[in-house]
Amino acid sequence: PAERFHSLPPGVDRSRIRPDNAIDIRRKVRNDLALQDDDKLLLMIGTGYKRKGVDRAMSALASLPEPLRSKTYLLVAGEDKISKYKKLAKKLGIQNQVHLPGARDDVPELLLGSDLFMHPARHENTGTVLLEAIAAGIPQLISGVCGYAFHIEQAQAGIVLSEPFQQTEYNQVLLEMLSSAQWQQWQDNALHYMRHSDIFSMPDKVSDIIEATGQQRAIANIYNTAL
């Protein structure tokens, strides 16, 4: 029955919210990665590189014109058969621009250190990491198949690619975004959306539903007993 189904908001961890010292964190992350102030850091997060579209991101990076390409880096935080993608990076001539450190436990810091969050997934049921990037105020370039892609569109916090996916479109949009003067606006839009949208309350809503259901059943039991 319809009344037994409940639509829940996302449940983003509030630790992803951009902190007051975000600039200091960004500086430290970039210093640790030996990045210059004018370098661009593209970030991807998640396991299952093929599903997440890591090869798509690498191809887009390799397509950038010089000198932009040599000043742009891709970091992929997550587990997979890394050797396969190291070979791909070498084949594309971007082995010095691609970092594949495997799983990381400092995702909030990496988000703040990045310039653009990339998620050209082949399929993605929701994509909670997209909302984590919104909470951190990071512009995004993602594929339209992601279940949470509509949040990026509503927030105007980046670009959602059309479907079916076209590598040439991805390459061109990446170039345009890296060359755009709209970075601050994308960031401001993301943070505004984070403050005015319900992307954190899933645990609270679940608790409320369970409590309400329990109360309803208790009342029904009392009524049936009385009868």
Beta bridge partners of 158: 140
Nearest CA to 136 out of 110, 161, 156 is that of 110
AA letter at 224: N
- Which secondary structure element, helix H or strand E, spans residue 178, and what is its range? helix 167-178
Handedness of CA 59, 182, 77, 34 (dihedral sign): positive
- Measure the N-to-C terminal CA separation of the chain; round to a whole number of Å: 25
pLDDT at 224: 61
Q: Residue 112: what pLDDT?
A: 97
Q: How far is CA 23 from CA 20, 30, 110, 118, in A?
A: 8, 11, 12, 21
Distance CA 121, CA 143 (A): 6
What DSSP letter does each residue of 49-84 carry, written as one string?
A: HHHHTHHHHHHHHHHSPTTTGGGEEEEEES-S-HHH
CA angle 163, 165, 167 (to 5 degrees): 150
The pLDDT value given to residue 223 = 56
CA distance 144 to 163: 6
- The closest alpha carbon to 170, from 116, 127, 95, 101, belongs to 116
Cα R_g (the chain), whole angstroms: 21
Per-residue pLDDT of the chain (227 residues; tens, 9 = 90+): 888 898 888 889 888 999 999 999 999 999 999 999 999 999 999 999 999 999 999 999 999 999 999 999 999 999 998 999 999 999 999 999 999 999 999 999 999 999 999 999 999 999 999 999 999 999 999 999 999 999 999 999 999 999 999 999 999 999 999 999 999 999 999 999 999 999 987 778 788 888 887 777 666 566 566 55
Checking 142-147 for CB contacts under 8 A at 24+ apart, the result is 142/117, 142/118, 143/53, 143/119, 145/121, 146/119, 146/121
